[in-house]
């Protein structure tokens, strides 16, 4: 555990220290696009934050290669090199997109090529643990297609959710933390060395996100851009593929009694990681809804809009920071809820706890819809927005009534005066008016 923590801290430190110089480089390079209609920030902000995250990834892998226990991961598996190859390719595509905004189909093709590079080097799904059936081996083509599909889905899910300051980095960090705990448990508790690469990937991914978050929290000084969002999406997908398709449930037979029992014991996390819908359930849901919404309107699935989940939270009335925290809450609830259920699926307390926290999440989600009624004596102790909601209508009604009374009294006072002027000095008024016209 100490070596994983050391790798995490070094990755976070390198990412944090490099983000400042990268920000200056992005400004000089002109990677500061104009504000678009779907953006929520009000000032042009530099991108290319993925450069610092990529060098953080490289430093984490380099340090792990020189540690006594983690060195075995590089000696017995080719997965770290496969990850680095795919990450370098997807990072280059992201850097080009941050600077020149390349076409969406070109990015999609680059994502598929990066996934194919990892498959060629051994990072692929070999089998699937199916509940009630056991271990199902896949052919080479089936494993390749499924691996590429999972990588592309995860990359775009993370890319789509990157719309608020600190949102994507925070959600992926939460997912990586839950993933690390699960993979570490499989490796240490069951002694399965095939889970070691996934554990390392999760630790490095947490370091990348934690090092970048201080620069990206609201108000953000730099964005990760596609070079960062696609990179962390690929790393997360690589870890999920490694532990789902590489760890053989036969190795759990000694602990579960049989292959089917082993599959049943790990299915609460195995199957969600397969698609992956638990660890990044919120970004995946946002991705699916965006595709359906744009297709229904006759638009391209890659056409940008303001219909994402974080945009809807802002429209409801949440502030920028509170919308991000709500997304964090739901991501943590789903990820760690599935993790707890995988540890002890027979406990009803876990299910009740998840239901209770979900109810709290719904209350927080609908908080702007509530109209608090604060007593008069407590007005000074609440934020101004709660005082205005109750007193503004009353003040407006009183001002309207006062204005109406002033208009009525003013008209009564002016009526006799105007009558007198027209009756007594009518000729004078007409003459003055005619002289005024002549001067004009």
Q: Is the pLDDT reported for residue 386 higher than 60?
A: no
Share of the chain above pLDDT 90, in %: 26
Averaged pLDDT of the chain: 76
Q: What is the mean pLDDT of residues 383-396?
A: 52
- The model's pLDDT over 6-17, given as tens digits with 9 standing for 90+, comes to 999 999 999 999
Of 109-118, 152-161, 403-412, the range with the lowest mean pLDDT is: 403-412
- The model's pLDDT over 182-229, given as tens digits with 9 standing for 90+, comes to 888 877 777 777 788 989 999 999 999 999 999 988 788 899 989 999
Paired residues of 127 in beta bridges: 137
Q: What is the mean pLDDT of residues 115-134?
A: 81
Share of the chain above pLDDT 70, in %: 65
Q: Is the pLDDT reported for residue 407 higher than 60?
A: no
Nearest CA to 208 out of 26, 25, 9, 21 is that of 9
The pTM assigned to this predicted structure is: 0.73
Q: Is 314 exposed, middle or buried (0-12, 13-18, 19+ CB in 10 A)?
A: middle
Predicted local distance difference test score (pLDDT) of residue 62: 94
Token couple for 298? 């006759």
Q: How many residues does the chain have?
A: 440
Q: What is the mean pLDDT of residues 301-319?
A: 65
Q: Among the ranges 74-78, 227-231, 310-314, 356-360, which has the highest mean pLDDT value?
A: 227-231
Peptide bond into 104 cis (omega under 30): no
3-state secondary structure of 58: helix
Tell me the CA distances in angstroms from 307 to 4, 144, 288, 296, 314, one per residue in order: 39, 33, 12, 13, 11
d(C-alpha 420, C-alpha 95), whole Å: 82
d(C-alpha 42, C-alpha 122), whole Å: 45
Token couple for 302? 């890659």
What band does 113 get if pLDDT is binned at 50, 70 and 90? very high
Q: Is the pLDDT reported for residue 434 higher than 90?
A: no
Q: Is 135 exposed, middle or buried (0-12, 13-18, 19+ CB in 10 A)?
A: middle
Token couple for 414? 């002016």
d(C-alpha 153, C-alpha 276), whole Å: 9
CB 126 within 8 A of CB 250: no
Instruction: Describe the chain by its helix, strand, coil percentages, rounded to 5.
Output: 75, 0, 20
Predicted local distance difference test score (pLDDT) of residue 24: 93
Burial readout 105-121 (b: 16 or more C-beta within 10 A, e: otherwise): eebeebbeebbbbbbeb
Predicted local distance difference test score (pLDDT) of residue 300: 66
Predicted local distance difference test score (pLDDT) of residue 274: 46
Number of Cβ within 10 Å of residue 254's Cβ equals 10
Beta strands per DSSP E along 99-249: 127-130, 134-137
Q: Is the pLDDT reported for residue 259 higher than 70?
A: no
Token couple for 28? 């000089």
3-state secondary structure of 134: strand
Q: Is the pLDDT reported for residue 440 higher than 50?
A: no
Paired residues of 134 in beta bridges: 130
d(C-alpha 215, C-alpha 309), whole Å: 23
Q: Is the pLDDT reported for residue 106 higher than 80?
A: yes
3-state secondary structure of 36: coil
Predicted local distance difference test score (pLDDT) of residue 150: 87
- The model's pLDDT over 410-420, given as tens digits with 9 standing for 90+, comes to 544 444 444 44
- The model's pLDDT over 327-337, given as tens digits with 9 standing for 90+, comes to 888 888 888 88
Q: Pick the residue with more confidence: 353 or 40?
A: 353
What band does 369 get if pLDDT is binned at 50, 70 and 90? low
């Amino acid at each position: 555990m100490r070596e994983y923590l050391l790798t995490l801290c070094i990755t976070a430190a390198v990412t944090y220290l490099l983000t400042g110089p990268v920000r200056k480089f992005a400004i000089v390079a002109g990677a500061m696009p104009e504000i678009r209609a779907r953006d929520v920030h009000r000032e042009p902000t530099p991108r290319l934050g993925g450069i610092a995250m990529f060098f953080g990834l490289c430093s984490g892998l380099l340090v792990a290669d020189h540690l006594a226990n983690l060195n075995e991961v590089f000696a017995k598996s080719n997965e770290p090199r496969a990850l680095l190859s795919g990450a370098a390719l997807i990072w280059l595509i992201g850097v080009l997109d941050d600077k020149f905004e390349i076409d969406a189909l070109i990015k999609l093709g680059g994502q598929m090529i990066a996934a194919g590079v990892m498959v060629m080097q051994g990072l692929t799904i070999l089998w699937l643990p199916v509940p009630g059936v056991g271990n199902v081996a896949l052919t080479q083509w089936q494993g390749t297609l499924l691996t590429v599909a999972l990588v592309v889905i995860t990359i775009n899910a993370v890319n789509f959710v990157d719309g608020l300051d600190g949102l994507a980095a925070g959600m992926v960090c939460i997912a990586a933390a839950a993933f690390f705990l699960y993979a570490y448990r499989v490796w240490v508790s069951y002694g399965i060395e095939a889970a070691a690469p996934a554990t390392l990937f999760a630790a490095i991914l947490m370091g990348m996100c934690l090092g970048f978050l201080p620069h990206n929290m609201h108000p953000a000084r730099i964005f990760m851009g596609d070079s960062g969002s696609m990179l962390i999406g690929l790393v997360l997908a690589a870890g999920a593929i490694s532990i789902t398709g590489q760890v053989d449930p036969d190795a759990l037979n000694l602990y579960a009694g049989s292959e089917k029992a082993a599959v049943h014991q790990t299915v609460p996390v195995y199957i969600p990681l397969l698609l992956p819908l638990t660890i990044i359930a919120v970004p995946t849901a946002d991705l699916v809804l965006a595709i359906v919404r744009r297709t229904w309107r006759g638009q391209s699935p890659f056409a940008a809009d303001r219909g994402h989940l974080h945009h809807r939270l802002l429209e409801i009335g949440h502030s920028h920071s509170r919308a991000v925290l709500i997304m964090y809450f739901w991501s943590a609830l789903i990820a760690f809820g599935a993790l707890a259920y995988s540890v002890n699926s027979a406990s009803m307390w876990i299910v009740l706890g998840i239901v209770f926290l979900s109810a709290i999440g719904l209350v927080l989600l609908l908080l702007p819809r509530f109209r608090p009624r604060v007593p008069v004596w407590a007005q000074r102790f609440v934020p101004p927005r709660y005082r205005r909601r109750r007193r503004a209508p009353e003040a407006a009604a009183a001002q309207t009534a006062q204005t109406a009374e002033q208009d009525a009294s003013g008209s009564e006072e002016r009526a006799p005066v105007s009558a007198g002027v027209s009756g007594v000095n009518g000729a004078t008024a007409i003459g003055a008016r005619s002289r005024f016209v002549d001067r004009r």
